[in-house]
Structure 1
Amino acid sequence: MVVLALLAVLGFARAALAQEQAWLQIEAQPSLSEAEARARDYAGQFPNVAGFQIAEGWYGIVLGPYTPEAAAGALNDLRRSGAIPGDSFITDSSTHRQQFWPVGTIAGQILVDPLVDPLTDPAGDLMVVDPALEPVAPVIEVMPAEETPREAKASEAALSADERKALQTAMAWYGFYDGGIDGAFGPGTRNSMAAWQEANGFEPTGVLTTKQRLALGTNYRADQAEFGFASVSEPEAGIEITLPLALVQFDHYEPPFVHYNEKAGSGLKVILISEPGNQDSLSGLYDILQTLEVVPAQGERSKSETSFVINASSAKVQSYAYAETKNGMVKGYLVVWNPADAERMSRILPALKSSFRGVGDKALDPGLVPMDAATRSGLLAGMEVTLPKLSRSGFYVDAKGTVVTTVEAVAQCGRVTLDHDTEAQVVAQDAATGVAILQPKTALAPPAFALFHAGQARLGSEVAIAGYSYENKLPAPVLTFGTLEEEKGLNGEAGLSRLAAPVLPGDAGGPVLDGTGAVLGMLLPPAVKGAKLLPDGVAFAAQAGMIAQALTAVGVSVTQANSSDLATPDALNTAGLGMTVLVSCWE
């Protein structure tokens, strides 16, 4: 009776333990000798290799034990790194019979799991348990042998509608399928299956074998368990999306943002975006996001009239942003993570992309201030904003988007941008004249470009300086009016014009226009003569002739003004502001 009682205790202990621990089955062999040889090989790579008889004539090699949550993570990490076979899967100990590795087998005995102390008699000897009395445990499906394409097609035909949909869902999760989850295996599903097979080292037949279906489904369920994916509905924002709730948690609303901050030190953040707006609001959002510390300057950008994508990366942070405008609303999301988590994000990001959708006719109300005119500090409270070292003005000199600015604007810059988001390269700069020439790295179509004044300018005439007086604080340049005082410097320097105008540092690099809208020159930074600061209102400009020479030297053709008619105030404003561009210098 005592032995029977001990057997009952052993049975319950094994059943409870099977529910609490998990193993990674990495291989199964049909003979004990082959299994021992393979277990010995794996033991050279892993410290937690074990081997059990798992079915009549089959011997499984496993890693573990783990908690169920840790097993999911270990399976994905080891499988994706290639350390274990791609068809490895999670199991519990309910199918483990005799242990043959590392302690081997003992005739007439079944050794209990390594985490359970062996039952002993009072003398400390190992109890001998009759295998016939071992408690019956549920059987976990053993990985089947590989099938021929004909056999795979036949086994596939026996799948239920839900099982077929589950396969499509798993392939969509891994980014191989983007069709409807309808259980119909048409050309789209077949192509997706072939792509999945090829990516995982199988022959791309377009028909998954039973073994491949089991591996795909097991991997998918392991990912779901590891990351805690769940469909999240934000009715206030009108957004539905699948989020990894084991890694992020809701923090707060801050229109137009819904913040999901990192959980358990995951380093992952998700920010949902929702506000009433149109194309202008979308463009404003695009500009504002790129001022954030978490949106590095490096990486791909694409923008259309109705949506944009930002895929940014640096050594310290990586982020992905998407937004679209539809039905008078702008909705999207920003995901931020550590570049070291690239493998994990390769499984998480596709789920966010494929599941995101705007729903209903409601969006977070950011107030009555349009997105593109709102102050960044109000919208982005709690989020670090990246600002340039300095911003100055410049102006377009041809239809290709070539820009002239001051040398000061581009000195010691890690990178230079035009109007925040267009990268530019410095093709020439001359410290003597103070002129720098930039070319955009991507094609531009400027709304206007400079027509250079030819001949002698009239002293005492009114001039207008177009520039970003307050650097990047205003969304557009302004005109500052003054007079042309002299066509030389204070010491008689040629190529300079002296102006009387109340300009600010941000205006430097902007065009100086005469009454016809022709460019007389480029405003230079505030002049300092030795230790003396010149009086307010005294400014200097590099003359049009000097600028034209610099442009010609690098192969840029200039266009001469051919009209002597005075421009209307509106025409002068359109010409001056249309050719003027914000030039920003970044670390």
Structure 2
Amino acid sequence: MLKRLLGIVFAAVIAVQAHAQSASWLQIEAHPTLSAAQDAARKFSAQLDDVVGFHLGSNWYGVALGPYSEQDAENLLRQLRRTGQIPRDSFVSDGQRYGQQFWPVGVGISNTPKPLPSEPPTDTTQIEPPMAPEDAEPIAAPEPTLPDETPAEARASEAQLTREQKMDLQVMLQWAGFYNAGIDGSFGRGTRNSMAAWQEANGYEVTGILTTAQRAELRSQYNAILEGTDLTLIEDANTGVAMQIPMGLVQFDANESPFARYTATDDSGVQVLVISQPGDRTRLYGLYEILQTLEIMPLEGPRERGSDSFEIEGLSETRHSYATARHENGEIKGFVLVWPAGDNERRNRVLSEMKNSFVAIDGLLSPAAAPADSSVDMVSGLAIRTPKNSASGFFVDARGTTVTAAANVDQCERVTVAGGDYPANVVFNDGTLAVLTPETALAPLGHAVIQTQAANRDATIAVGGYPYGGALALPTVTFGTVADGSDLTGDASKLRLNLTTTQGDVGGPVFDASGAVVGVLVPTPANNGQMLPENVAFAANAGAILSALAEASVRADQSTSSGYMAPETLTSAASDVTVLVNCW
């Protein structure tokens, strides 16, 4: 058992190394299950040398020959196609999609291109043929294989193609790597040369004119990558949408307005949402915003919103999503395709088929199809993207520059302020405090004034914060007192407070009785496993705030006032200054 495990690990390591070399592979088949791929590899191994198998991702497994140099792989492709030993839709691959090796079992593959397998030796010994009986029928010589059409016949059948069909042929030749000019449906010198190159690569007589059978084979090669997707034209009267949907990968799940939802049949993560709802341009724009909050739509990627339509593309390490919708005649219709990352060629083909087939027909998904149970974390049965952490901060100028605790923005891929609607950049972080600047200038209702007078012991203070993350629309204010002008270690840049707070309050402003800010609430430090009383809290003081702002080249208003602000007035002022900080 140990030997087998070591063999598998060794194979995985060698596979990664092999891909880094300039090696090519002759991919001959792909199967949606491991058992089918193993059967295929076993079958080919009985006839051919150098048979290997790899996981291709998205539950697909490929059988290939190699590795060889690119030129050797091309030569072997032509030879084996000509002799009928491999499928005609086999192709040369660079192996970039190849993952875990599954064949041969427990044997590591070579990490350098191999020489081509030698052909079996030819026995030159002359053997006398046996004498045939005198009454035996003479054996006729085999008829040579004739092309399905002569060049003249091929040109005649080609003339029957529509312009769209000719453009499709150019697209397929381009995909196969033989054509790099415009897709115009005009068969000029470039198209003829590409047809001739395809014929040569596939073992046919080179004429520059594809016969009917050759066009069919080219189409078969082009569509081979769609095997297993089972693209099916679905005409749904409930949504009023007709389009191709990869029913080999998804199945209908539910109608939950505004979506008809199709979920993956396996663990691939593929999803399709058909969009159908009544509405005007305002509702279209609202849908555009809502889709970008869903977990299935990654944050990165191009977005475009026109007057009556939109397109959204989201890319992450795990998924590649696309959404589009259009408003017309009081109806909003479109679709969303969610696809696993790393399978771009197949995704692009499926997406192209879906786009090209999409047609709005009679019908509209009823708003009554909305789910009865509502959740703040769900939209029509789909999870809303939620931040990794939600805490507090406060505005320090009129454009929305924000101060918060450094702990609130550590290990964030993205930071937003004001309910997650406004992306912000971290321009300063010293491990205690962080300064954020919004990508687009904001217009907060108020901003903090920093108190330059030292906070007195036992002085009344108030902390503005979001103790429940983003569950409440407005911040809360918690009152307490200053316990000491330093923390438990004697650090004079921090205050110790008598105050009960939560994790969501961290980063919030600490106000004195005049309404000026004397500190920023910071996390309670770990104390060698000891639990501090609940009413012990800590804050970086005003001097630390001003130092951080100076490092970030931000000027803040300052105060030396020791006046008094009524609690209800202070609470109102804190609401204008305190802001929700989200870490994504």
* TM exceeding 0.5: yes
Q: In structure 2, do the counterparts of structure 1 residues 173 and 519 end up closer, same or farther at CA, with 3 Å as the change threshold?
A: farther
| Alpha-carbon distance between aligned partners in 1 of 2:189 and 2:480, rounded to the nearest angstrom | 72
- Measured against aligned partners, the alpha-carbon deviations of 1:341-371 in whole angstroms (never above 9, x if no partner) come to 3222232222234444665572364777899
Partner of 1:554: 552
Which of 53, 71, 76 is residue 44 of structure 1 equivalent to? 76
- Measured against aligned partners, the alpha-carbon deviations of 1:254-301 in whole angstroms (never above 9, x if no partner) come to 555434345699774433345567344542331123xx5xx556x424
- Measured against aligned partners, the alpha-carbon deviations of 1:132-190 in whole angstroms (never above 9, x if no partner) come to 9x9xx99744567999xxxxxxx99x966x812444677799999xxxxxxxxxxxxx9
- Measured against aligned partners, the alpha-carbon deviations of 1:386-439 in whole angstroms (never above 9, x if no partner) come to 76554332344456665432132244x2634325587666544334xx212345
Tell whether 2:313 aligns with 1:310: yes
What is the TM-score normalised by the length of structure 2? 0.57
The Cα shift of 1:552 comes to 0.9
Which of 240, 250, 253 is residue 252 of structure 2 equivalent to? 250
Which of 122, 128, 135 is residue 139 of structure 2 equivalent to? 128
Gaps of 5+ in 2: 1-71, 96-118, 123-131, 176-180, 195-206
Q: In structure 2, do the counterparts of structure 1 residues 506 and 275 end up closer, same or farther at CA, with 3 Å as the change threshold?
A: farther
Partner of 1:375: 376
* Equivalent residues of 1:511, 1:580 under 8 A apart: no
| Alpha-carbon distance between aligned partners in 2 of 1:561 and 1:370, rounded to the nearest angstrom | 53
Q: Alignment partner of 1:48: what SS?
A: helix
Gaps of 5+ in 1: 1-39, 52-62, 82-100, 105-120, 148-154, 177-189, 204-208
What amino acid is aligned across from residue 447 of structure 2 in structure 1? A
| Alpha-carbon distance between aligned partners in 1 of 2:516 and 2:174, rounded to the nearest angstrom | 55
* Equivalent residues of 2:192, 2:209 under 8 A apart: no
What is the TM-score normalised by the length of structure 1? 0.57
* Equivalent residues of 1:447, 1:579 under 8 A apart: no
Q: In structure 2, do the counterparts of structure 1 residues 320 and 539 end up closer, same or farther at CA, with 3 Å as the change threshold?
A: same
| Alpha-carbon distance between aligned partners in 2 of 1:265 and 1:144, rounded to the nearest angstrom | 51
Q: In structure 2, do the counterparts of structure 1 residues 163 and 380 end up closer, same or farther at CA, with 3 Å as the change threshold?
A: same
Partner of 1:271: 273
Tell whether 2:491 aligns with 1:481: no
Q: Alignment partner of 1:237: what SS?
A: coil
The Cα shift of 1:547 comes to 1.0
The Cα shift of 1:504 comes to 1.5
The alignment-based identity, stated in percent, is 24
Q: In structure 2, do the counterparts of structure 1 residues 361 and 461 end up closer, same or farther at CA, with 3 Å as the change threshold?
A: farther
Tell whether 2:342 aligns with 1:345: no
Which of 286, 290, 304 is residue 292 of structure 2 equivalent to? 286
The Cα shift of 1:526 comes to 3.7
Which of 449, 460, 466 is residue 452 of structure 1 equivalent to? 449
What amino acid is aligned across from residue 318 of structure 1 in structure 2? R
| Alpha-carbon distance between aligned partners in 2 of 1:195 and 1:423, rounded to the nearest angstrom | 49
| Alpha-carbon distance between aligned partners in 2 of 1:453 and 1:429, rounded to the nearest angstrom | 19
Q: Alignment partner of 1:471: what SS?
A: coil
* Equivalent residues of 1:453, 1:561 under 8 A apart: yes
Partner of 1:540: 538
The Cα shift of 1:507 comes to 1.5
The 5-angstrom pairing of residues 170-569 of structure 1 reads 192-193=183-184, 211=209, 219=218, 223=222, 226-227=226-227, 228-253=230-255, 256-262=258-264, 268-274=270-276, 278=283, 279-289=285-295, 292=296, 299-302=300-303, 304=305, 307=310, 309-314=312-317, 317-324=318-325, 326=327, 332-356=334-358, 362-363=364-365, 365=367, 374-376=375-377, 379-380=380-381, 389-398=388-397, 402-411=401-410, 413=411, 415-418=413-416, 426-431=426-431, 434-438=432-436, 443-448=439-444, 450-456=447-453, 465-472=463-470, 474=471, 476-485=473-482, 488-489=485-486, 494-499=492-497, 501-513=499-511, 519-526=517-524, 533-560=531-558
- Measured against aligned partners, the alpha-carbon deviations of 1:100-155 in whole angstroms (never above 9, x if no partner) come to x99x9xxxxxxxxxxxxxxxx999x99734779x9xx99744567999xxxxxxx9
| Alpha-carbon distance between aligned partners in 2 of 1:567 and 1:191, rounded to the nearest angstrom | 74
| Alpha-carbon distance between aligned partners in 1 of 2:269 and 2:237, rounded to the nearest angstrom | 26
* Equivalent residues of 2:170, 2:185 under 8 A apart: no
| Alpha-carbon distance between aligned partners in 2 of 1:195 and 1:541, rounded to the nearest angstrom | 74
Larger deviation, residues 546-555 vs 345-354: 345-354
- Measured against aligned partners, the alpha-carbon deviations of 1:530-556 in whole angstroms (never above 9, x if no partner) come to 665444344333233321211212333
| Alpha-carbon distance between aligned partners in 2 of 1:455 and 1:379, rounded to the nearest angstrom | 51
* Equivalent residues of 2:450, 2:559 under 8 A apart: yes
The Cα shift of 1:320 comes to 1.4
Q: In structure 2, do the counterparts of structure 1 residues 42 and 464 end up closer, same or farther at CA, with 3 Å as the change threshold?
A: closer
Alignment coverage as a number of residue pairs: 446
Partner of 2:583: 584
* Equivalent residues of 1:396, 1:404 under 8 A apart: yes
Q: Alignment partner of 1:445: what SS?
A: coil
Q: In structure 2, do the counterparts of structure 1 residues 326 and 44 end up closer, same or farther at CA, with 3 Å as the change threshold?
A: closer
CA RMSD in angstroms comes to 5.7
- Measured against aligned partners, the alpha-carbon deviations of 1:453-491 in whole angstroms (never above 9, x if no partner) come to 34448878876544332235x274522232454672466
Q: Alignment partner of 2:294: what SS?
A: helix
What amino acid is aligned across from residue 430 of structure 1 in structure 2? D
| Alpha-carbon distance between aligned partners in 1 of 2:364 and 2:133, rounded to the nearest angstrom | 73
The Cα shift of 1:450 comes to 3.4
Partner of 1:181: none
Q: In structure 2, do the counterparts of structure 1 residues 534 and 319 end up closer, same or farther at CA, with 3 Å as the change threshold?
A: same
The Cα shift of 1:447 comes to 3.8
The Cα shift of 1:211 comes to 4.3
Q: Alignment partner of 2:392: what SS?
A: strand
